[in-house]
């Protein structure tokens, strides 16, 4: 059985519903068909989750990433894969209630489950090595918004201004604002109408205001701006008339309660709600991210799902179009999130996804027990239907209606009564697959899942499984600062007027500075803002390399602190500042450090300016990644993850194309050969039949001639006829042999062709694997003339000078405030 096919998912085997027989025909599903989305319906226990786990496993093996929303907690089972299939592997995860019910000890039950899985897998042609392959193909993670049982998720990013253009995407962005506001108000128990509710209108206006100005929001900022709105006019009324200040205050208080509650802190920590991070590891390995939301309240679930879907849409819109499957969005138990009549905030983004995701290669898969839970309009966008056993006639009718409109959308006719009969006869793990890309529906039984389907995990088990894994660390080195604590404090030193002086902005208040110290039980903090002199150099480097399509202007800004001796740029630190951030006046009530000897003269700064150009020329380079297989370079502003994701998708598209070409080529040859073979076989049958009939004829003819002799008839004719018959029989025998040889020749050719096809496919697969290998690093250096130093100036950098007490005693320290 060969089910490791490129770009095709092994979901099971065809099943003859009339005889109840499992057929030998594999059910291979073309991954690309998922870009038109799939719906999976069936009553409880019909095997929906099992089927979708199969599908996710296949996606993982094919390096297709997935975002998985898991309201019940059983998709977490994707992490329960045990290549060794040993009872000890199963033991921590078995359902002890099940063991008890069966009257077995935990050990015996674990052994039984291990056996069950080993046998089940082998019956479906799968073994340990396939489980191993699954584990190696993708990274599986469980995220738990609002809890640290799995990896917590920080929702802060979902308030950041989306990187989309307001003029071009106004409708989409407004939908997003609306959804965000409804979900947020849902958290404080308000079911607000976007058109009538004052609260909704105000918040939506505020968010739009900030986002239009490309200003990232936080909940805190949003709440503060409710009291002091930057938008003064709402419709024809002044904001205070529309929504008086006192009443706004009570809305702000209500929202503040969310932030103030101790539990809410966990919503602000962890992996940022940023889609690429959920689709791949920082190193670019395919990831399946399971969002476990079983522990959340309905309003919290709605809030999270809405935020997540919105992020998916924004991310998706920044991707290039494709026809190959790029990623999956899967939601188990869609109940309540995509209803036919009501309009919860999750509905609009889901609908948008169903309508638009196809162009971006994002496939949506939804499951439900209850077809009446699903929005009818949205479902006409689903190209694949997995229909399991249904409980009621009403459910069946509903599904058939949905199928009918999805089919008519695809221009196909549907035999409803035939399908209705089939659906009524479906058993456990048997599904009717209706795919608008295929000619006719098929029934199939799902293959045995590699993951141990033990059912929903509790939060404690999730914790046990994830073992306190931290969110990804983004590798961003923090600039090191030397605390320049010595030197007397003076007031505004007098400096030669030909030295350009600038002030770095203060970006950190005392509270944050103290928090950053990370010292427990500190008290009696006294603070003073001081300016410490340093030199700042700014400018641009231009990296060009036509062959590698690099044309990148990169700004640089370095901060060089005064130390002992001659200042050298090698000791400078990069600083995140642009010419616009620079101030020309100091903050009030600030003290100044003395200017060191090494930087108090104009010629010294001049020298530093010259040194800077050389320093940048020698030390600045950008590193591109190069894939020798695809002959592609990364872009300068592309991370390894983004580059890998781009290449994987490019390689996937290429692979799908090649497989298509190959299939077409061989299909034709196989069909021609098959026809020849069939004809040869038919001829053989005919010859065989002829040969045996000849034998009978001989008997009869010989009999006749013998009879003729006795009866005195003239027998010469008959005798000679018998001879002819005998001769004919001999030739018939030879013809049979010849026909047999013919059949053999075609059979052999057929086998050779099949072998050839296998080898060519393996070649494509190997190439595809190769593209996922390591990359070379290619440094691009600037030419000297490509370094442009715009400014080298004496810069006053603000610091907090802190005096505080802890258990040991009093301390003095200086912390950067820029
Ligand atoms: N592919 C599979 N491989 C092995 N066992 C399976 C598979 N699919 C289903 N099962 C078994 O059948 C049980 C019920 O299936 P499943 O949980 O998939 O049903 P469901 O349709 O999702 O039900 P619900 O609507 O209650 O979630 C599973 O717990 C598992 O034991
Ligand atoms: Mg289920």
- Taking only the tens place, the pLDDT of each residue in 464-522 is 999 878 888 754 332 223 333 334 444 556 677 778 889 999 888 888 888 877 776 77
Q: Which residues contact 72 (CB under 8 A, 6 or more apart)?
A: 294, 332, 333, 456
**How far apart, in whole angstroms, are the C-alpha atoms of residue 121 and residue 780?**
51
CB–CB of 500/790 below 8 Å? no
Q: Which residues contact 602 (CB under 8 A, 6 or more apart)?
A: 496, 498, 499
Ligand 1 center to residue 292 CA distance, Å? 18
What stretches of 452-522 adopt beta strand conformation (E)? 489-490, 501-503
Averaged confidence pLDDT in the chain: 85
Mean pLDDT, rounded, for 216-235: 91
Ligand 1 center to residue 457 CA distance, Å? 14
pLDDT > 90? residue 131: yes
**Residues shown for the chain:** 818
**How far apart, in whole angstroms, are the C-alpha atoms of residue 155 and residue 303?**
10
* Domain map (residue ranges) of the chain: 1-80+141-153+288-470, 156-267, 489-620+781-816, 640-777
Of 570, 615, 574, 625, the closest CA to residue 779 belongs to 625
How deeply is 275 buried, as exposed, middle or buried, from its count of CB atoms within 10 A (0-12, 13-18, 19+)?
buried
Question: What's the Cα-to-Cα distance from 282 to each of 69, 95, 132, 259, 271, rounded to whole Å?
Answer: 21, 35, 22, 30, 12
pLDDT > 90? residue 364: yes
pLDDT in tens, 37-71: 999 999 999 999 999 999 999 999 999 999 999 99
Ligand 2 center to residue 125 CA distance, Å? 24
> Closest Cα to atom 25, ligand 1: which residue?
44
Supply the pLDDT for residue 697: 55
Question: What's the Cα-to-Cα distance from 400 to each of 333, 407, 425, 434, 468, rounded to whole Å?
Answer: 20, 10, 15, 11, 46
> Closest Cα to atom 15, ligand 1: which residue?
47
Q: 3-state class of 451 per DSSP?
A: coil
Ligand 1 center to residue 368 CA distance, Å? 13
Q: Is the CB of 369 under 6 A from ligand 1?
A: yes
Q: Are strands 66-70 and 327-331 parallel, antiparallel or unpaired?
A: parallel
CATH fold for the domain made of 1-80+141-153+288-470:
Rossmann fold (3.40.50)
Is pLDDT larger for residue 43 or for residue 377? Answer: 43
**How far apart, in whole angstroms, are the C-alpha atoms of residue 32 and residue 585?**
61
Q: Which residues contact 233 (CB under 8 A, 6 or more apart)?
A: 239
**How far apart, in whole angstroms, are the C-alpha atoms of residue 399 and residue 414?**
12
> Closest Cα to atom 6, ligand 1: which residue?
50
> Closest Cα to atom 3, ligand 1: which residue?
448
Q: Which helix (H) or strand (E) holds 10?
A: strand 8-16
Closest ligand 1 atom to 51 CA: 1
Supply the pLDDT for residue 717: 36
> Closest Cα to atom 8, ligand 1: which residue?
50
Q: Is the CB of 455 under 6 A from ligand 1?
A: yes
Q: Which ligand is nearest to the CA of 51?
A: 1
Tokens of 429: 């793990």
Q: Is the CB of 119 under 6 A from ligand 1?
A: no
pLDDT > 90? residue 693: no
Q: Candidates 46, 50, 117: which one to mutate for ligand 1, based on the most atoms within 8 Å of Cβ? A: 50
Ligand 1 center to residue 138 CA distance, Å? 23
Q: Is the CB of 45 under 6 A from ligand 1?
A: yes
Q: How confident is the model at residue 727 (pLDDT cuts 50, 70, 90)?
A: low
Q: Which ligand is nearest to the CA of 46?
A: 1
Closest ligand 1 atom to 52 CA: 18
**How far apart, in whole angstroms, are the C-alpha atoms of residue 446 and residue 15?**
10
Q: Which ligand is nearest to the CA of 389?
A: 1
Q: Candidates 388, 426, 429: which one to mutate for ligand 1, based on the most atoms within 8 Å of Cβ? A: 429
Of 607, 531, 540, 603, the closest CA to residue 569 belongs to 607
Is pLDDT larger for residue 774 or for residue 126? Answer: 126
Supply the pLDDT for residue 715: 32
pLDDT > 60? residue 432: yes
> Closest Cα to atom 18, ligand 1: which residue?
47
Supply the pLDDT for residue 725: 53
Backbone phi and psi for residue 392, each to the nearest 5 degrees, phi listed first: -120, 160
pLDDT > 60? residue 340: yes
Most confident among 120-134, 496-510, 567-581 (mean pLDDT): 120-134
Q: How confident is the model at residue 709 (pLDDT cuts 50, 70, 90)?
A: very low
Cα-Cα-Cα-Cα dihedral sign, residues 267, 270, 274, 278: negative
Tokens of 270: 């962890």
pLDDT > 80? residue 220: yes
Please identify, in words, the CATH class of the domain defined by 640-777: mainly alpha
Q: Is the CB of 50 under 6 A from ligand 1?
A: yes
**How far apart, in whole angstroms, are the C-alpha atoms of residue 11 and residue 62?**
13
Mean pLDDT, rounded, for 401-415: 79
**Residue that has been written with the tokens 């497989």 in this structure:** 659
Q: How confident is the model at residue 713 (pLDDT cuts 50, 70, 90)?
A: very low
Most confident among 358-367, 377-386, 602-611, 714-723 (mean pLDDT): 358-367
Q: Which ligand is nearest to the CA of 368?
A: 1
pLDDT > 70? residue 698: no
Q: How confident is the model at residue 336 (pLDDT cuts 50, 70, 90)?
A: very high
- Counting residues of the chain whose pLDDT is more than 90, the rounded percentage is 44
Mean pLDDT, rounded, for 446-474: 90
Q: Are strands 442-446 and 8-16 parallel, antiparallel or unpaired?
A: antiparallel
Supply the pLDDT for residue 564: 65
Q: Is the CB of 54 under 6 A from ligand 1?
A: yes
Q: Which ligand is nearest to the CA of 77?
A: 1
DSSP percent split of the chain into helix, strand, coil, nearest 5: 45, 20, 35
Rg, the chain, Cα only: 37
Residues measured by CB to lie within 5 Å of ligand 2, the ion: 49
pLDDT in tens, 75-110: 999 999 999 999 999 999 999 999 999 999 999 999
Mean pLDDT, rounded, for 259-276: 86
Q: Candidates 44, 49, 52, 395: which one to mutate for ligand 1, based on the most atoms within 8 Å of Cβ? A: 49
Ligand 2 center to residue 455 CA distance, Å? 8
**How far apart, in whole angstroms, are the C-alpha atoms of residue 353 and residue 345?**
14
> Closest Cα to atom 14, ligand 1: which residue?
45
Q: Which helix (H) or strand (E) holds 433?
A: strand 430-435
pLDDT > 90? residue 622: no
Ligand 2 center to residue 366 CA distance, Å? 11
Ligand 1 center to residue 36 CA distance, Å? 25
> Closest Cα to atom 16, ligand 1: which residue?
47
pLDDT in tens, 635-671: 888 888 888 888 888 888 888 888 888 878 877 787 8
Q: Is the CB of 446 under 6 A from ligand 1?
A: yes
Does the fold of domain 640-777 match that of domain 1-80+141-153+288-470? no
Cα-Cα-Cα-Cα dihedral sign, residues 578, 319, 363, 63: negative
**How far apart, in whole angstroms, are the C-alpha atoms of residue 533 and residue 501?**
10
Supply the pLDDT for residue 377: 79
Question: 48-61 and 128-137 are packed helices; what angle lies between their axes, rounded to 10 degrees?
Answer: 70
How deeply is 560 buried, as exposed, middle or buried, from its count of CB atoms within 10 A (0-12, 13-18, 19+)?
buried
Ligand 2 center to residue 579 CA distance, Å? 57
CB–CB of 805/522 below 8 Å? yes
Q: Which residues contact 276 (CB under 8 A, 6 or more apart)?
A: 315, 641, 642, 645
Q: Which ligand is nearest to the CA of 453?
A: 1
Using the 8-state DSSP alphabet, how is residue 581 labeled?
G
Tokens of 302: 């709605």
Ligand 1 center to residue 429 CA distance, Å? 7
> Closest Cα to atom 31, ligand 1: which residue?
453
Ligand 1 center to residue 449 CA distance, Å? 9
Tokens of 13: 């085997």
> Minimum mean pLDDT among 488-492, 591-595, 737-741: which range?
488-492
Is pLDDT larger for residue 715 or for residue 134? Answer: 134
> Minimum mean pLDDT among 321-325, 528-532, 729-733, 775-779: which range?
729-733
Mean pLDDT, rounded, for 387-392: 90
Backbone phi and psi for residue 289, each to the nearest 5 degrees, phi listed first: -105, 120
What stretches of 198-333 adopt beta strand conformation (E)? 233-234, 237-238, 271-272, 287-292, 327-331
pLDDT > 50? residue 373: yes
Q: 3-state class of 238 per DSSP?
A: strand
Q: Which ligand is nearest to the CA of 95?
A: 1
Ligand 1 center to residue 48 CA distance, Å? 6
Q: Is the CB of 33 under 6 A from ligand 1?
A: no
How deeply is 594 buried, as exposed, middle or buried, from its count of CB atoms within 10 A (0-12, 13-18, 19+)?
middle
Q: Is the CB of 335 under 6 A from ligand 1?
A: no
Tokens of 394: 């009403």
């Amino acid at each position: 059985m060969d089910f490791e096919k490129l770009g095709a998912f092994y979901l099971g085997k065809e099943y003859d519903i009339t005889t109840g027989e499992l057929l030998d025909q594999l059910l291979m599903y073309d991954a690309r068909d998922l870009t038109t989305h799939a719906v999976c319906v069936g009553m409880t226990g019909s095997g929906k989750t099992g089927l979708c786990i199969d599908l996710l496993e296949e996606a993982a093996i094919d390096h297709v990433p997935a975002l998985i929303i898991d309201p019940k907690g059983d998709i977490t089972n994707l992490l329960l894969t045990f290549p060794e299939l040993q009872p000890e592997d199963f033991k921590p995860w078995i359902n002890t209630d099940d063991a008890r019910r069966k009257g077995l000890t935990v050990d015996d039950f674990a052994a039984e489950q291990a056996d069950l899985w080993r046998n089940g897998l082998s019956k479906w042609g799968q073994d340990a090595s396939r489980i191993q392959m699954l584990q190696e193909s993708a990274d599986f993670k469980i995220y738990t918004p609002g809890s640290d049982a799995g990896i917590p998720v920080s929702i802060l990013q979902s308030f950041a201004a989306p990187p989309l253009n307001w003029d071009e995407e106004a409708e989409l962005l407004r939908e997003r604002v609306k959804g965000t506001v409804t979900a947020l108000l849902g958290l404080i128990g308000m079911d607000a109408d976007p058109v009538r509710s004052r609260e909704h209108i105000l918040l939506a206006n505020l968010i739009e205001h900030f986002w239009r100005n490309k200003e990232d929001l936080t909940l805190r900022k949003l709440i503060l701006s409710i009291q002091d709105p930057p938008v003064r006019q709402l419709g024809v009324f002044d904001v205070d008339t529309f929504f008086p200040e006192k009443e706004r205050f009570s809305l702000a208080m209500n929202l503040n309660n969310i932030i103030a509650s101790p539990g809410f802190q966990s919503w602000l920590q962890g992996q940022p709600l940023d889609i690429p991070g959920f689709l791949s590891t920082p190193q670019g390995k395919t990831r399946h991210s399971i969002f476990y939301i079983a522990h959340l309240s309905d309003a919290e679930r709605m809030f999270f799902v809405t935020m997540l879907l919105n992020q998916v849409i924004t991310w998706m819109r920044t991707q290039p179009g494709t026809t190959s499957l790029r990623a999956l969005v899967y939601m188990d138990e869609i109940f309540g999130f995509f209803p036919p009549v009501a309009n919860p905030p999750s509905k609009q983004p889901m609908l948008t996804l169903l309508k638009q995701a196809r162009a971006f290669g994002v496939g949506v898969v939804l499951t439900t027990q209850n077809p009446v839970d699903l929005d009818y309009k949205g479902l006409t966008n689903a190209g694949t239907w997995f229909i399991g056993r249904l409980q009621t006639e009403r459910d069946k009718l509903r599904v058939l209606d949905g199928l009918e409109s999805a089919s008519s959308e695809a221009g196909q006719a549907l035999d409803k009564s035939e399908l209705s009969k089939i659906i009524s006869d479906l058993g456990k793990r048997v599904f009717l697959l209706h795919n608008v890309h295929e000619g006719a529906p098929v029934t199939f039984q799902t293959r045995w899942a590699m993951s141990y389907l033990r059912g929903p995990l509790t939060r404690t088990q999730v914790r046990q499984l994830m073992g306190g894994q931290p969110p990804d660390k983004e590798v961003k080195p923090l600039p090191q600062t030397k605390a320049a604590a010595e030197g007397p404090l003076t007031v505004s030193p007098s400096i030669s007027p030909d030295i350009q002086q600038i002030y770095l902005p203060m970006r950190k208040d005392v509270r944050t500075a103290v928090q950053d110290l990370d010292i427990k039980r500190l008290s009696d903090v006294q603070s003073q803002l001081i300016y410490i002199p340093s030199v700042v150099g700014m400018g641009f480097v231009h990296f060009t390399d036509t062959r590698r399509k690099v044309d990148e202007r990169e700004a640089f800004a370095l901060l060089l602190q005064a130390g002992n001796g001659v200042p050298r740029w090698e000791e400078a630190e990069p600083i995140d500042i642009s010419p616009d951030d620079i101030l020309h006046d100091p903050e009030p009530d600030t003290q100044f450090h003395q200017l060191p000897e090494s930087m108090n003269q104009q010629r010294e700064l001049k020298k530093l300016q010259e040194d800077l150009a050389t320093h940048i020329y020698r030390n600045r380079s950008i590193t591109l990644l190069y894939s020798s297989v695809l002959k592609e370079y990364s872009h300068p502003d592309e991370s390894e993850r983004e580059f890998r994701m781009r290449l994987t998708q490019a390689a996937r598209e290429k692979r799908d194309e090649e497989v298509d070409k190959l299939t077409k080529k061989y299909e034709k040859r196989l069909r021609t050969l098959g026809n020849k073979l069939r004809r040869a076989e038919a001829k053989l049958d005919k010859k065989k039949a002829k040969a045996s009939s000849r034998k009978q004829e001989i008997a009869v003819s010989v009999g006749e001639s013998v009879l003729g002799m006795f009866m005195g008839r003239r027998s010469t004719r008959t005798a000679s006829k018998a001879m002819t018959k005998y001769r004919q029989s001999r030739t018939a025998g030879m013809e049979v042999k010849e026909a047999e040889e013919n059949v053999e020749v075609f059979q052999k050719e057929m086998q050779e062709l099949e072998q050839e096809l296998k080898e060519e496919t393996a070649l494509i697969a190997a190439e595809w694997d190769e593209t996922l290998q390591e990359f070379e690093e290619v440094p691009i250096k600037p030419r000297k003339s490509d370094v442009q130093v715009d400014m080298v100036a004496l810069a006053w950098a603000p610091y907090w000078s802190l005096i505080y007490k802890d258990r040991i005693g009093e301390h003095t320290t200086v912390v950067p405030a820029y």
